[in-house]
Each structure stands twice: as C-alpha cells, then as structure tokens.
C-alpha cells in the first residue's frame, strides 16, 4: 500500500522564497541555517473527500498526500529523484523573473546534455548489442535540448520509460511558482512561450497572515489576490501529471486515491492491496455526483446507479469503487 503518492522537488535561486512556500505547503517552518534537503508531507485538502466523510461517517479518513523536498540552490541536481519539479521564481530580486527562469532551465539542460552525451558515447561503442531504440530517443532528445526546445509532452510514455534510468531533469513534469510581493502584478504574457503551468503566489505575505489570530487573519486574506497557495499548487501538480482521484468507502474507512489518468480497475485494485488485484472478481463503480445525491451505497445500488466493471475498465475522476475479490 502506498502512503505517499507523489514527490515534488522545490528548486530555485537563493532568496526566491522557496522555504517560505515549503512552509505554506507542509507546515515545516523555514530554517535558514540548514543547507540540507528538507522533506515535508502535505495532506491534500479535498472537498469531495470531506463531503463523503459527512455522508458515510467512517471510523477513519485517509487523505492523499504529496511529499515535498526543499532543495538548497547548490544541490538542485538532487531533484532527479522527484516526480515533479517546482521551480520557484522571485519577482523581487535584482533580475527579472524570466531571466531567473531561463537561468534555471539552462542549468538543467546543460546537466542533462552531459548525461545524454556520455550515454550515447557508450552506446555507440556497443556494436553487437546496442539498443537502437534507446539511441534514437536519446538522439532526438539531445537535438531538442540543444535547440532549447521545451520538451513537455513531446516524448511518448514508452520513450519516457526507455530513458527513465537517466533521471533527466528537463523532461520531468514541472510547474513554476511565481513568488511576488503584495505590490507586484502578475503578467502571464511573459510566460506564454514557456509551456509551463504558472502558479502565482505571495508567499511572504501569506505566511505572515497565517501566523495571525483567526479573527485578524480573515481581515487580511483578501490581500492574497490569487488565493491561498497550497490548493493551487496541488491543482497544478495534478494537471502536469494528469492525475485524477478515485475513492473507496468500504469497511468504515473513506480514502482518496490519486492515480494517473488511464489506470485500469485491476491496476487500481493493486494500489489498494495486492490481494484485491490477485483475487479480482469485479469492481462496483458509482460517480461521486450520483452518490452524494443519494447518500447511501445500498440505496444507490437499488436505484441501478452502481455499474459492474471488469479488469480493463479505465478509472474516471471522482469514481467511488468497491472491489469484489476472492483469495
């Protein structure tokens, strides 16, 4: 069973406010004397899960989680183990935000090109057992990076799997956290050619507001023009990773399960427990919207709103699933 579903590396230039954003996401306060990688876990707030909890009244509620890593500037290469890279860009330093972003992207590309060139040199020497498909993917990627082309979703899933062992940063899903002061205005036009998902944030102001008493806090929250950071960061991460959520409500336990779009019922069953996948019989599936209208699983079944699906059924966002299995 997977307790932590996704790992996100926070990187960016020194003084960008990265550790303050890390605090807003995980509750772990900044420590400017620590120069090591700091992990922290965010419990994903989920309105649908909250509503299911109200209806089902379970003994246990399990939220999805995201593990974040606050990575010092001099160790940004350690983002190689993350699923997503979150690039923190300041709007209040001596250079413009795009210049900072271009510097970070260039450093990532230079590092990746060194790895690719080393790999290709080794592969070119393997005349008998050379993996020609791997060579083709690496050569294609090398050409894109040398031309400063944003890779984004240009690689297929098969191609990504082929080169996954190289831990290349340039091809990881990424979001940009545009960290502004209260007085700064967000101009999305400067980001349009990057292909990035941009999350504007006013981290210092938000952190100060979060430290206030609850009554005082409500008075200042409107100063956060874009809203609170955490929920918008989660939405951006789910967007770039094509993540959806299904729910289980059996056995007095309500749980949110984030998965990649396209996952089948048998794969989802294995995520819940390997025994369920091994003895899979069928999946009883209802949509979140229909369940909350009725509020009871058995009543929903009597109304004919619960579908029976087999192993190959592709999970949809908001599905509520009860797996039937026998071991």
From the list 293, 323, 288, the residue with the least C-alpha distance to 308 is: 323
**Among 26-40, 130-144, 158-172, where is mean pLDDT lowest?**
26-40
Residue 202 lies in a domain: no
Our count of domains for the chain comes to 1
For residue 204, being part of any structural domain is answered with: no
Query: Would you state the structure tokens that stand for residue 110, as one six-digit string?
Result: 């230079």
Q: What is the DSSP letter of 92?
A: S
- For residue 50, tell me if it sits in a domain: no
Q: Is 122 exposed, middle or buried (0-12, 13-18, 19+ CB in 10 A)?
A: exposed
Local confidence band at 172 (pLDDT 50, 70, 90 cut-offs):
very high
In a domain, 208, yes or no: no
Cα radius of gyration (the chain)? 23
What DSSP line would sit under 207-267, residue for residue? HHHHTS-HHHHHHHGGG-TT--HHHHHHHHHHHHHTEEEEEE--TTEEEEEEEETT-BHHH
Answer yes or no: is 301 within a domain.
yes
> Quick one: angle between helices 18-26 and 229-241, nearest 10?
90
Q: What is the CATH number of the domain that holds 304?
A: 3.10.20.30
Which has more confidence, 31 or 238? 238
User: 51 burial class (0-12, 13-18, 19+ CB within 10 angstroms)?
Assistant: middle
**Angle ∠(155,101,89) on CA atoms, nearest 5:** 120
**Helix, coil or strand: residue 61:** strand
- Is residue 232 a part of any domain in this protein? no
3-state secondary structure of 72: coil
Residue pair 277/288 in contact by the 8 Å Cβ criterion:
no
Does residue 293 lie within any of the structural domains?
A: yes
Whole-number pLDDT of residue 217? 85
pLDDT of residue 1: 36
Per the rule left: phi > 0, alpha: psi between -120 and 50, beta: everything else, 294 is alpha
pLDDT at residue 3, as a whole number: 39
Tokens encoding 1: 């069973």
Over range 233-250, report the average pLDDT. Answer: 96
Percentage of the chain exceeding pLDDT 70:
99
Q: Which domain holds residue 298?
A: 262-325
The band of 4, judged by pLDDT with boundaries at 50, 70 and 90, is very low
Question: Is residue 146 domain-resident?
Answer: no
């Amino acid at each position: 069973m997977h307790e932590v579903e996704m790992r996100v590396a926070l990187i960016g230039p020194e003084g960008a406010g990265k550790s303050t954003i890390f605090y807003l996401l995980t509750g772990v306060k900044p420590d400017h004397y620590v120069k090591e990688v700091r992990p922290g876990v965010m419990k994903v707030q989920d309105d649908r899960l909250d509503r299911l909890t109200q209806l089902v009244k379970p003994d246990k509620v399990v939220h999805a989680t995201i593990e974040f890593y606050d990575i010092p500037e001099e160790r940004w290469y350690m983002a190689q183990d993350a699923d997503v890279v979150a690039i923190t860009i300041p709007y209040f330093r001596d250079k413009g935000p795009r210049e900072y972003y271009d510097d970070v992207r260039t450093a990532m590309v230079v590092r990746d090109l060194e790895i690719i060139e080393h790999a290709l040199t080794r592969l070119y020497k393997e005349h008998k057992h050379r993996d020609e498909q791997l060579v083709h993917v690496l050569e294609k990627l090398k050409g894109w990076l040398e031309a400063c082309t944003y890779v984004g979703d240009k690689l297929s899933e098969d191609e990504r799997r082929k080169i996954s062992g190289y831990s290349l940063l340039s091809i990881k899903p990424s979001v940009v956290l545009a960290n502004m002061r209260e007085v700064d205005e967000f101009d999305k036009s400067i980001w349009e050619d990057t292909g990035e998902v941009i999350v504007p944030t006013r981290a210092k102001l938000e952190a100060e507001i979060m430290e206030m008493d609850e009554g005082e806090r409500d008075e200042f929250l409107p100063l956060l023009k874009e809203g609170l950071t955490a929920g918008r960061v989660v939405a951006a991460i789910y967007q770039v990773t094509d993540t959806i959520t299904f729910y289980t409500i059996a056995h007095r336990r309500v749980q949110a399960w984030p998965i990649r779009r396209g996952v089948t019922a048998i794969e989802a069953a294995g995520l819940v427990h390997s025994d369920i996948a091994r003895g899979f019989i069928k999946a009883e599936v209802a949509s979140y919207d229909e369940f909350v209208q009725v509020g009871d699983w058995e009543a929903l079944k009597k109304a004919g709103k619960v579908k029976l699906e087999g192993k190959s059924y592709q999970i949809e966002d908001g599905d509520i699933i009860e797996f039937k299995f026998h071991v």
